[in-house]
Every structure is written in C-alpha cells, then in structure tokens.
Amino acid sequence: MTETTARTDAQTAADRFLALNSGNLAAYLESCVRCGLCATACHFYEVTGDPKYTPAYKLFPMAKAHKKTLWPWRWLGGPKVTEEDLEEWEELLFDSCTMCGRCTQVCPMGIDISSIVAASRQAFAAAGRGPSDLMQAAENVRDKGSPLGVTPSVFDGRVEWLEDDYEVDLPLDREQAEVLLTVSSIELMKYPKSIVAMARLMNQAGVDWTFSTKGYESTNFGFLAGKMDLAKLAIERLVETAESIGAKTLVIPECGHAYGVLRWSGANILGRPLPFEVLHITEFLAKLKAEGKLSFHPIERPITYHDPCQVSRRGGATQCARDLLDSAVDFREMTPTGDQNWCCGGGGGVQAMSRATDLRHKVFQIKMKQVEETGVDLLVSACANCRLTMDDSISHWKWDKELESLVELLAEHLIEDEPHPFDAKPHLATNV
C-alpha cells in the first residue's frame, strides 16, 4: 500500500466516523468514564487478560474522530486518524468483538458499545478495510443471494431434496401465506435437519406458511461487515417477499444476528415501518405451544442451554427457549445463564474470519467450563452460527460433549398425529 493510498484510506475512514458521530453515539463517547468494568464482562479479555481487549478501548476510533468536532480541535485541525490507527483498530473492531452486548450490562453509564462497533465497521468498509473473508461473504449476498452462495435455484433444489429424503412437506413459493419462514445458509448447507425440524413443527401446528425463492436468506452479512447498502438489500428482499404474499409474520430461523438485524434495526435501515411481525423461531414455537398447538414427549436426557446473545441478551426472547424445554426431566442452567450468559465467541461475523480462529477456540474454553460445571453431556442452542462456532471448537479441543439444535431436539420429541422419519436417509455433502 502506497503512502498516498494509506492517507486516502485513513481520511475516508475518518470522514465516515464523523458522518456517523451524532445523536446517541456522540452521547456514548462523552459518557465513558474509563472505569474498565467492561473488561470483566468481555470473553476476549477473560481468556487473554490482555488490556487491549477491554471493550471501552473499542470506542477510541470513533472518539478520536469525535474530538475533531470539539473545541479547540475545530480550529486546530486535529487529531487525525492515521493508517497506523486503522491497522491497530481493525483487529479490535472485527476479530475480537462479537457485538454480544455483555459489556453494556456492567457499564455504569449504559454505553452500548456494540452499536459503536457496528458504526465503526461502516467506516472501515468505506475505506475498503476489513477481513477479506467477511467482506466476500457480504458481497456474495449481492451477487448470489446468500453469503454461502445459496442461489434461488440452489435453494429450490435443496428444498426438493429435503422433502424427498425426510418425507416432509416444505411449501415453496405459495402465492399467499400468513407466515414467511426464512432460513440461514449455515443451516441449509451445514445443518439441513434443522430446516426439516422447523417444517415438521410448523406442519404439526397447522401453520399457514411458506418458503420463498424470492426472499429466503435471513443472515445479513452486509450489516456485520459494515456494508449498509448490502444490509439494506438483504432486508428489502425479505420485506418485499413478505408483503407480496400478505404475510402477517416473518419467522427468523435459529440465527441470532439475523433476528437482531431485522427485528430491531430493519425498519431503520429500510426507512419505513415493517408491515408484519418479526419473530425468532423460539418465540414463534413458544407461542404455538402456549396455544396448545404443539406438545412434546419428555426429554429424558440431562441438558443445558446456551443463550445466543442476539436472541436472549439483546433480543429479549430469553424465556422462550426455556418454555419450549419445560418437558425436560433434568434441565440444568449454566452459571451465569440467561441474559448474563457468555457468548460462543463467533458472533458478529467473527466465525467467518479465518484469522480469528485461534482466538475463537480460546474463548470457547469459557463455554466448556460452564457446561462441565452443570455435569451434563448435551448442550442445546438456538443459533446456527453459535452451533457452527461451537462445533468447530469442540472438534479442535476434542471435547467429549454433544451439541444439538433446539428445533431438532423438539422435533425428535414432538407428539405427532402421524410420525415421520427424521433420520431416514443419508445426507448429501454439506460442507460450508
């Protein structure tokens, strides 16, 4: 990189920082008292003890740009964002922040560091900076419709295969439906049984639902990469599809960030209210269960539950999973649990960054300790990204515990009018 290019990148990032630095973000920057309490809540700091991973330090890029707007800096022209700053901050804003929000819980000033990290990533993206694999996954959304390259035709073929292999009805491209069910490409390519499980649960409850080849991908890597044009494009596809079929509810599958982006940020990114309700699959299933439309055989095996950060802590759906698992004979909570539970280590797009692999594995040791303290052998979660992250680390550490999807566990214990095979035929290749 030439010196001129470096200066241009730094200035582009600085300009974007300034453009984003207003309202609540500016208030957050002014509110930090540098107490350091957030360090104790961060899984990256917890496993490394390195002060650079203190969440408040992630405010510095935005704060440095913010100072340019304050007296006397407005007349003195500084401080300036440099190429050295970008080099240092990139790892802190991308590789070592899952935007889980745990630091905000302990912050005496209530600073939402996750929102500042998300905005800071926009500045890096504007300057053409950021992990190449994360950025490519975001671009795939534009070019292929999915971060993993699941085009509409691939999706169509995948649905047809699942119908044949598992003898389950997967309605696709219905002209009208009350519920639009979406998928994450992680599930579709790596964990296809979760797609079958959702369908079985929906069908048993008599839900009027459909998949659509026009809007199926719920994951939003544009948001995670800071590419807001791509984030908006992904949202538009889902919203326009739901509107075209008259859906009253759009259901997000087991994907934490997909839920958070559409449920809490979708309308703001789109620029208009969403004309339907957005629910995570655990919320929707808990509602069906409460209405008496779903019932389950007892889960005899001792289990514990990992709370996906964007579903529980930042999403507010903490209790739904527990309501669905109340048929478990021996359910044991982790310590801490619920809204205080530790992150898996791969959220916020970190799972997609190959250079962050070693750090992710270190972070997973926290989860291993949590599970081992419960004494159970089966860990359940409701986020495919968490599952992919944890499966990878389970393999790395050769850990002897099992991990399962919540919807798959429920489908296995579903009381059905007409039982259907769930493991009848071998899977196709499902490498991501």
Q: What is the CATH number of the domain that holds 361?
A: 3.40.50
pLDDT for residue 81: 74
pLDDT above 50 for 422: yes
Average pLDDT over residues 124-149: 93
Q: How many domains does the chain have?
A: 3
Q: Are residues 317 and 400 in the same domain?
A: yes
Residue type, 244: S
Query: With contact defined as beta carbons under 8 Å apart, do 67 and 26 qualify?
Result: no
pLDDT attached to residue 28? 87
Residue at 323: amino acid letter: D
Interior CA angle at 158 toward 385 and 253, to 5°?
Answer: 35
Is 339 in the same domain as 391?
yes
- Identify which has the larger pLDDT, 317 or 62: 317
Q: Whole-angstrom Cα distance, residue 121 to residue 94?
A: 7
Decide if 60 is inside a domain: yes
Backbone angles phi, psi at 17, to 5 degrees: -55, -45
Could you tell me where the DSSP H helices lie in 192-307? 192-204, 221-225, 228-244, 256-260, 266-270, 281-290
- Of 255, 290, 325, the position where a domain reaches its end is 290
19 and 57 in a single domain? The answer is: yes
Domain boundary among 111, 130, 149: 130
Q: Is 168 inside any structural domain? A: yes
pLDDT digits (tens, 9 = 90+) for 256-309: 999 999 999 999 999 999 999 999 999 999 999 999 999 999 999 999 999 999
420 has pLDDT over 70: no
In a domain, 420, yes or no: no
Q: Identify whether residues 281 and 171 lie together within a single domain.
A: yes
125 with 140, same domain: the answer is no
| Angle CA 29–359–401, to nearest 5 | 120
Q: What is the pLDDT of residue 428?
A: 42
Q: What percent of the chain has pLDDT over 90?
A: 79
What rounded mean pLDDT belongs to the chain? Answer: 91
Residue 421 within a domain = no
| 295 belongs to a structural domain | no
Residue 126 has pLDDT above 70, yes or no: yes
Are 187 and 279 members of one domain? yes
Pair 58, 163 in one domain:
no
Asked whether residue 425 is assigned to any structural domain, the reply reads no
| 122 and 143 part of one domain | no
Q: Is residue 430 one of the residues assigned to a domain?
A: no
* Domain identity same for 307 and 320: yes
Shared domain check, 119 and 142? no
Last residue of a domain, one of 290, 322, 354: 290
Q: What is the CATH number of the domain that holds 78?
A: 1.10.1060
Residue 205 lies in a domain: yes
Same domain, 243 and 322: no
Nearest Cα neighbor of 21 from 78, 75, 59 is 59
Domain, as residue range, for 215: 134-290
